[in-house]
């Protein structure tokens, strides 16, 4: 779909529902990649949830590591209990948005879709700040000394 057509449709909805500027939403949630605009508000919600789900999966790996994932097993050891509690609180807030989106997907109304979009957009900077702190810690743990034998256990 032509980007200009998408923007025109969005600007109409922006005026009607007091939505954020297209450019800001596009920068965070990649709205330009939406192919059709028949259900634009729904598609924007789905784009937002795509990103939220991505971060939920990463957080979940740190809170409840899959023993088949060497990365999760390694990273989870570097979080203190207090950090895990804060990480879980963040995870809960993100999952609440996820589950709210499921309800909207079942019974979609444009005004509720717009309310969801505004709510997520307004909360997003805080989420980003918290996620960034944890992502840095996950990256940093790979720079620290670790014993491979401890990480992978018995391989023979």
3-state SS string over 48-87? Answer: HHHHHHHHHHHHHHHHCCCCCCHHHHHHHCCCCHHHHHHH
Residue with tokens 């450019």: 23
| Confidence check: pLDDT of 20 > 60 | yes
Beta strands per DSSP E along the chain: none
How many CA atoms does the CB half-sphere of 52 hold within 13 Å? 26
User: What is the average pLDDT score of the chain?
Assistant: 91
How do residues 83-137 score in pLDDT, each as one tens digit? Answer: 999 999 999 999 999 999 999 999 999 999 999 999 999 999 999 999 999 999 9
Q: Which residues contact 47 (CB under 8 A, 6 or more apart)?
A: 29, 30, 31, 33, 34
pLDDT band at 144 (very low <50, low <70, confident <90, very high): confident
How do residues 74-84 score in pLDDT, each as one tens digit? Answer: 889 999 999 99
pLDDT of residue 67: 86
pLDDT of residue 147: 59
Residue with tokens 């949830």: 49
């Amino acid at each position: 779909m032509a980007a200009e057509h998408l923007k025109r449709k969005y600007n109409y909805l922006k005026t009607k529902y007091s939505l954020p500027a297209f450019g800001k939403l596009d920068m965070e949630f990649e709205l330009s990649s939406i192919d059709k605009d028949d259900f634009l508000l729904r598609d924007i919600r789905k784009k937002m949830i795509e990103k939220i789900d991505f971060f939920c999966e990463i957080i979940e790996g740190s809170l409840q590591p899959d023993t088949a994932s060497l990365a999760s097993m390694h990273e989870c050891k570097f979080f203190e209990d207090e950090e895990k509690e804060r990480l879980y609180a963040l995870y809960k807030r993100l999952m609440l948005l996820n589950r709210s989106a499921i309800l909207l997907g079942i019974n979609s109304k444009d005004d509720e879709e717009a309310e969801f979009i505004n709510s997520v957009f307004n909360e997003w900077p805080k989420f980003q700040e918290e996620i960034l702190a944890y992502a840095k810690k996950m990256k940093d743990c790979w720079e620290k000394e670790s014993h491979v034998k401890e990480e992978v256990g018995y391989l023979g």
